[in-house]
Amino acid sequence: MFKNVRKEEITVPAQMTYLIQVREFIEHIGKRYKFDDKVINSFKLVIDEACTNVIRHGYRDIKNGEITIKAIIRRLSLTILIIDQGKSYDPSQASTPDLGKYVDIGKKGGLGILMMRKLMDDLQYVVTERGNEFRLTKNRENVHEPKIIQKWHDLNLKAKYSLVASLIITLIVVGFIFMPIIINTETNIKEDALNVSASSCLSLADNVISNMINDNDINMFEAADALAQNYKDIIKEVFILDTDMRVRARSNVFLSSTLGRYSIPEDAVLIDTVNTVPVYSYYRSADSTYIYDLSAEIRGTTAGEGALLGYVHVWIDQDTIKNKANARKYILLAIMAVILIVGYIGSYFLIHRILTPFHSLADWVRQVVHGKVDQDEIDIDASDELGEIAQAFNEMTSKFRKAQVNLMEQQKLQKELQVAQEIQQMLLPNDFPKVEGYEIASFYEAAKEVGGDLFDFVEVDEDTIGICVADVSGKGVPGSLIMTMIRTALRLESRGNKNPADVLAKVNSFVADDMKRGMFVTMFYVILDSRNRIIHYASAGHNPMILYRGSTKQTYYLNPSGFPVGIQLPDPGLFAAKIETDSIRLREDDILVLYTDGITEAMNSQRDLFREERFLTSIRDNAHLDVGEFIKSINADLKNFTGGAQQNDDITFVSIKEKLMHSDVVFRIQKELSKLISDGMKVKDALDQLRVSPYHYYKYKDIIDRDGMDGLKTFLEDQDHIEKKHLSLEVKTKIFDIISKNPTYGAKRIADELSKKEYGSLSLDPQRIYNELVKLRLNTRKKRERHLEKGKRTHFKQPGTPLLTLDGNVILDFQSSEHEIAKREGGTASATFQPSAIDSRPQVRKEFVKSYKKEEIAKETSEDKSTEETVREVVDKKDEKILETKAVETFVTKKEQELKPEVKESKPKVAPVVDKSKIETKQQPERSKVEKKDEIKEVKKPFIEEPAAAEDKKTDVTETTEIDLIRIPEPDDTPLEKPIDTNKKSKPLVEETAHKRDEVLKEVTSVIDENAVNNFYSMISDDLKALESIRNSINPKNDLEKDIKKIKLILSIASKHPILKEIKDIQLIFIRSLDAFNFILDNFENLDNNLIVPNAKDLLNCLRKDNKLDDYSKIFETINKIGLIHHKLSQNATRSKSKQSNEMDRIRKKIAEKEIISTQAILDSIIKQEDK
């Protein structure tokens, strides 16, 4: 009924040269399973035709395709499946060709499908998740089997089961029950006869003892005859002998007239001893019989002791035993026959009873399948096994009908995916452009499903090409259509435009309105200028570009800021404002790699990720190869890791290698120019011929005239932008290590640490380190400590980069794939160590802002403050302690001189130690205008502390100005980051004479672009409405912190609007307001809600356009008002902090410990004054 089929399969590349392997596979199947040559030859023709069509048509636009041939061997048929993932085509839907018409027109070919139908018995074509399956079946014409097996297969199921049951019953009854009994019947009867005869012989010997002593022969005759009569069916004769072997008595006296002597023949054989009675076997010629002779001694006592009186002999005829055994065998055979007949009849009726419902069920299923009856017309009782089978058939029928519907949908989806694949393959370039001095190669591998990876080469101008790598978030036809739009827009906008950020901004404008919500595209666009030997690049939320410099063994991860293309932003102009362009020049043999996340997220069968660490290791190991071999080696490493596991995302990467440096090109052009001019050509004509601008000619000519051609070459070789603009990953790793150990260190201290031998004695400008910390959002101690405290981790790294050791080696096994998968799926995993990514704080979704696809949008806007605030570095702890001690001494001296009740001193602002005698409460408001202006200037002009300046500078703490320069931080205070130049004199906190209003107004812009202001307020009207709504609803009892965060986010976006570059003063209003709200959030716990609400409303009022255009002074007044509000909030926050950690308590404690003041009255006076 059910038989296991045998299966074999082979997979070959979809190329004509591999068809011979398919033919050999078919021949192997035929020989192994004994199919006729006719069947095998038919399959070879049909499969060769089908595979040829798959290669030529199915895989016409698809590279690296494969064909799987699967053989299914059944007893009467052979089925071959041809599986491919190319373009679908169902040959069963093709019409039968008109042979007469083909002959008339002389058409060649086109008869492949007809040949398949003629040679095969069945053709089926389906599209499944494995691909296109073409099923070819042909039945055997001759089955090479013995006739008995063929006859067996011809029987129906009832006959087969009946025969098998009869065979089993016969085997059990005959073989296991009756046959052992029949075989042992004669042996058993013989043993029983000998046992009975031996016992009787011994009994008779005991009974005739007295008769032997008294010579009573008559009694002995009677005893012998009685024994023989009792066992006449066994015993033939009984003899009683004396010691001389004379017969004294016998059971049958009529057989002989004389008793005579008894003798045992010499050929008698002792065969056994039963109960001490010997048994002899011998042949008696007198009556031609075989007998068993049993003999027992007659002794004087019944215990077998005493004198020997005679013997008793008992004869058993062997024929008697055989006759008895045969009779018993006949009885057993009769019983066995009856049992077999009953078993055969019973098994037949039982099988009939079991199979009849199955026949009925089969008929019902056929009728349901053919639609003759409804599946609900039968009542199924599922209480027994047969009912369960019927119920299963019923459910299967229902599911089969649903499966038909699903199959139609699946086929529709498969056609859609096929269209998407065709679009995707059509978009990919077939060859690589040749660019002078650059080697370019790429690799692309499609995933199981249609992905969204795109890479393309576009011609910008004669000497410049653009290279784009993109990843579309959607899949299927929508993703392919987006790719088509992206490719079209890129080719339109890139022509003649060497600014990659501008190109991506225009591409975004081109496609943003046509992309549905939730879809976006990450892109990395690189422009190679082969003439000027410079590379411009921009990123729209894509993976970083990797630059590996083999000459220095340094790796750079380059990724300018930018939003993904098509993402929903609250302001259409925000994309162009955020995206940045960067430029680099390469050295010879530098290698650039652009890639999608499909390579770093590739997984093996154990679900381990390839990760950035393995990718960088592979890049380093193969960077010395040319780009073609480099790509092959990277792919080989990836294949070795994945082990051929199916991937869920496309894998794309492009490699660019520098072979001609900028210095070589300029040097060559200048030599050619010199030669042309020396040959008499005019300078203008020579410049036009070589396409050189006069500016560059005279610039380099001055260097040649001054230093010669060698000087020019030296000058050009020093123009390496990347070393001046970017820090390598290896250097960043060392900076991260320093921060993880000492999060309080700023740029200056980090630079000092890098100069130590432990970190390779690196010499870096603190300004460069500070700029990098700003990019990483680690430019304040609070941010660094918060980042380290978040997971109690000791190591962290930049997102999208691998983890390295201090010596630059890649750490491969720091994290298991389970942890990484759990993290990306939003789960948690327990791990002893996980490196954290920079600035990965979760963001709260803002209800009034359009939702974004990427979390980075919220991160960028929420941290914009950090790049604009003025930051300072605190001096070393050693200098801090010196200044603190001197400040305490000065303070105590003045207190001892000024202990008078009428003296009133103001409290210190943000806990600085200052000479309070120089500061009076009434002077406080007079500093606002000038100091606010000074603060504005400081934002734009950060300065760096000169090395060792703090130690060389002698600070006179007796002067108020010197005390104000140094700020002693409180325990909870965040240190300022920029190093302070202590050689410069700073202004005192309070100016004795403030600038006049007119003088201040002269320092700011006096003319404002009215149209720009109107355009700006029009563009942000939605944001202003949201702010007005918050202003009207803000309440101390509601979720005030949430409202402040909303305001902060809106201001962060609005303050970055591109049009504000034209109206700096309006921009300053928004920036100052943003600073104030940032301060409120940072000090939210130290401020009273009843204080925050009115000040927040006042700040929001300052943002209204109102009549700012009527009188420019109103802009200044608005800025000044914002500063006053900020100052008032700062004072209240400081007052709250001082209650928790009072600076005076610390000073008094130190005074008491050092016993500087011994007079208790002075100490009490200090306490009273502080209480006031």
Residue 81 has pLDDT above 90, yes or no: yes
Mean of pLDDT values over 282-298:
86
Q: Which amino acid is at 472?
A: V
- 3-class DSSP assignment, residue 883: helix
Tokens representing residue 765 in the block: 């400008």
Residue 652 has pLDDT above 50, yes or no: yes
Q: What is the pLDDT of residue 931?
A: 38
Residue 342 has pLDDT above 50, yes or no: yes
Pairing mode, if any, of strands 796-797 and 836-837? parallel
Residue 372 has pLDDT above 70, yes or no: no
Q: Residue 719's CB: how many other CB atoms inside 10 A?
A: 14
pLDDT in tens, 474-491: 766 677 778 888 888 888
Could you tell me the pTM of the whole model? 0.46
Confidence of residue 393 (pLDDT cuts 50, 70, 90): confident
Name the residue with higher pLDDT: 1057 or 536: 536
Torsion of CA 295, 297, 301, 306, to 10 degrees: -160
Confidence of residue 983 (pLDDT cuts 50, 70, 90): very low
Instruction: Provide the mean pLDDT of the chain.
Output: 75
Confidence of residue 1128 (pLDDT cuts 50, 70, 90): confident
Could you write out the DSSP letters of every residue in 803-860? Answer: -B-TTS-B--SSS-HHHHHHHHTT-----S--PEETT----PPPTTS---S-THHHHH
CB-based contact 1100:1031 (threshold 8 Å): yes
CB-based contact 333:182 (threshold 8 Å): yes
Tokens representing residue 63 in the block: 């590279």
Choose among 398, 384, 393: nearest CA to 362: 393
Residue 573 has pLDDT above 50, yes or no: yes
Tokens representing residue 211 in the block: 């008769």
Q: What is the pLDDT of residue 798?
A: 79
How far apart CA 825 and CA 699 sit, in angstroms, is 57
How far apart CA 1157 and CA 1163 sit, in angstroms, is 7
**Residue 603: DSSP 8-state:** B
Name the residue with higher pLDDT: 90 or 977: 90
Mean of pLDDT values over 243-262:
76
How far apart CA 562 and CA 564 sit, in angstroms, is 7
Mean of pLDDT values over 181-199:
89
Residue 795 has pLDDT above 70, yes or no: no
pLDDT above 70 as % of the chain: 73
**Rg of the chain, C-alpha, whole Å:** 54
Q: What is the pLDDT of residue 89?
A: 81
Could you write out the DSSP letters of every residue in 290-336? Answer: EEEEEEEEEESSTTS-SSEEEEEEEEEEHHHHHHHHHHHHHHHHHHH
Q: What is the pLDDT of residue 217?
A: 84
Confidence of residue 1137 (pLDDT cuts 50, 70, 90): low
Q: What is the pLDDT of residue 1168?
A: 53
Confidence of residue 720 (pLDDT cuts 50, 70, 90): low
Residue 120 has pLDDT above 70, yes or no: yes
754 burial (CB, 10 Å; 0-12 / 13-18 / 19+) is buried
Mean of pLDDT values over 405-430:
74
Please state, in angstroms and as integers, the Cα–Cα distance from residue 312 to each residue in 215, 261, 271, 848, 1130, following that order.
15, 13, 18, 128, 140
Confidence of residue 394 (pLDDT cuts 50, 70, 90): confident
Q: What is the pLDDT of residue 505?
A: 92
CB-based contact 939:871 (threshold 8 Å): no
How far apart CA 1081 and CA 115 sit, in angstroms, is 80
Residues 6+ apart with CB under 8 A from 738: 745, 750, 753, 754, 759
Q: Which of 93-102, 209-218, 590-599 is the most confident on average?
A: 590-599
- 3-class DSSP assignment, residue 578: helix
pLDDT above 90 as % of the chain: 14
How far apart CA 852 and CA 1053 sit, in angstroms, is 14
Q: Residue 398's CB: how many other CB atoms inside 10 A?
A: 12
Residue 943 has pLDDT above 60, yes or no: no
Q: Return the minimum-mean-pLDDT range out of 360-369, 874-883, 1001-1010, 1128-1137.
A: 874-883
Q: What is the pLDDT of residue 1113?
A: 61
Q: What is the pLDDT of residue 352?
A: 85
Which 3-state string (H, E, C) describes 1005-1035? CCCCCHHHHHHHHHHCHHHHHHHHHHHHHCC
Residue 9 has pLDDT above 80, yes or no: yes
How far apart CA 1062 and CA 1045 sit, in angstroms, is 27
Residue 639 has pLDDT above 90, yes or no: no
Confidence of residue 338 (pLDDT cuts 50, 70, 90): very high
Choose among 329, 530, 558: nearest CA to 437: 530
Residues 6+ apart with CB under 8 A from 824: none
Q: What is the pLDDT of residue 503?
A: 93
CB-based contact 346:173 (threshold 8 Å): no
Mean of pLDDT values over 58-78:
87
How far apart CA 222 and CA 239 sit, in angstroms, is 11
Choose among 858, 989, 1012: nearest CA to 932: 989
Q: What is the pLDDT of residue 148?
A: 76
* Sheet containing 582-584, strands listed edge to edge, beginning at the edge strand earlier in sequence: 453-461, 464-472, 521-529, 534-540, 582-584
Confidence of residue 1148 (pLDDT cuts 50, 70, 90): low
Choose among 488, 495, 486: nearest CA to 564: 486
Q: Return the minimum-mean-pLDDT range out of 451-460, 574-583, 791-800.
A: 791-800
**Residue 435: DSSP 8-state:** B
How far apart CA 182 and CA 332 sit, in angstroms, is 7
**Residue 176: DSSP 8-state:** I
Tokens representing residue 89 in the block: 């085509």
Residue 85 has pLDDT above 60, yes or no: yes
Residue 82 has pLDDT above 90, yes or no: yes
Q: What is the pLDDT of residue 855?
A: 42
Q: What angle do CA 586, 591, 595 make, to 5 degrees?
A: 120
Q: Residue 80's CB: how many other CB atoms inside 10 A?
A: 23
Residue 726 has pLDDT above 90, yes or no: no
